Amino acid sequence: MKNQEKESPLGLDVGTSRICLARRGDGPTEYETQLNAFVSVPKSPITERVLGKEKIPHTVRDSDILVHGNEAGSFAGMLGIETRRTMTRGMLNPEEPDSVAVLKDMIQAATRRYGEQSERRVCFTVPAAPLGANDRLTYHEATVKQILTESGFHATPVNEGLAAVYAELEASNYSGIGISCGAGLCNVCLAYLAVPIVSFSVPQAGDYIDSSAAAVTGERANRVRILKEESFHFNGFFSDQLHQALGVYHDSMIESLVESMALALSGAGKAVRSNRPVPIVLTGGSVMPAGFRDRFENILRRRAFPLPVSEVLLAPDPLHSAAKGALAAALTGS
């Protein structure tokens, strides 16, 4: 690692389903991603040794070992169990007693190599509150900041929708609507010349699609997620019930998103006006299915929308947009 690389800032996307670190390397921006999930496996010296040898992130406790990151998904599949999650709906999971401890270990595992440079800058993503609510945002943001500060970083939060704008709307001077459709939330931010004007989140996102489709088909949510990521797309004909259900709940997510955007942008006391049409950019894992952009635009254009929209863009690399935007914020000194 060159000196310049060692000192350069980092972008960290702390997502409900994945933690993604972005940094400037020699060439293009580099991304490292881990599943934000864990499983508990029985403790034994041999398991401990093998996990260490294979460099699989884990936490050893008195009675068990918590395996976290990408390998947690494989263990859960083999053991026939659901993974445990440190976060839900974009924030620390209040129903998971080990959430803070495991998230801390995961963030430290992702950033350890870069933390020795004291006060290195890192920007981390935080969700916006749902429309009209403040939620547990303060606790979540303060906890992640503390984890990073204790690891020697100078940490600053960046709103996830704004990160989407920073990542993908340079061509319009960071004016437009950034949308990040993730696992726990869809985050939206309208920015004008890089200034956030309205930000909010909507709770219908990837996890909602998985759990709703699981409930009506009797499948496990984790299995639904895997099938969705492998084979779901819009506008195809599916004879099986699972794909039919996935189509219904993707539509439902887009409808809720568009409805909330219309409400927020024309909403009580904060009607936003613009004569110049603004672009919308779609980012996040849940915009990945083929045909998503067209479906979103159809649903959007079907209704009266408070702002003129110039175009609906799909990010070229939707899974990395939030981390890329957080890195952009860190590089400009946020």
Ligand X SMILES: Nc1ncnc2c1ncn2[C@@H]1O[C@H](COP(=O)(O)OP(=O)(O)OP(=O)(O)O)[C@@H](O)[C@H]1O
Binding site for Mg ion (CB under 5 A): 15, 182, 322
Task: List the single partner that 120 binds among ligand X, Mg ion, none, CB under 5 to 8 Å by kind.
Answer: none
Closest CB to Mg ion: residue number: 182
Cα separation of 25 and 295, whole Å?
36
Which residues touch 152 (CB under 8 Å, ≥6 apart)? 115, 116, 117, 118, 119, 120
Contacts 24+ apart (CB under 8 A), 237-241: 241/216, 241/217
Q: Which is nearer to ligand X, 209 or 265 (CB)?
A: 209
Q: How far is the CB of 253 from ligand X (least distance, A)?
A: 10
How many residues are given for the chain? 334
What does 71 interact with, of Mg ion, ligand X, none (CB < 5 to 8 A by kind)? none
| Least Cβ distance, residue 181 to ligand X (angstroms) | 7
Question: Which of the choices Mg ion, ligand X, none does residue 128 contact, using the CB cut-off of 5 to 8 A by kind?
Answer: none
Residue 107 vs 205, nearer CB to ligand X = 205
Residues in contact with ligand X by the rule CB under 6 A: 13, 15-18, 90, 160, 180, 182-185, 205-207, 225, 228-229, 232, 284-286, 288-289, 319, 322
Q: How many CB atoms are closer than 10 A to CB 272?
A: 15
Contact between 10 and 330 under an 8 Å Cβ cutoff? The reply is yes
Longest dimension (CA), the chain: 66
Pairwise CA distance, residues 207 & 213, whole Å: 10
Query: Minimum CB separation from Mg ion for residue 31, in Å?
Result: 13
Q: In whole angstroms, how close is the CB of 173 to ligand X at the nearest point?
A: 25
Cα-based distances in Å from 108 to 104, 151, 160, 301 = 6, 7, 21, 44
Cβ proximity to ligand X: between 229 and 240 the closer is 229
Of all residues in this chain, which one has the CB nearest to ligand X in the complex? Answer: 206
Cβ distance to ligand X smaller for residue 57 or 289:
289
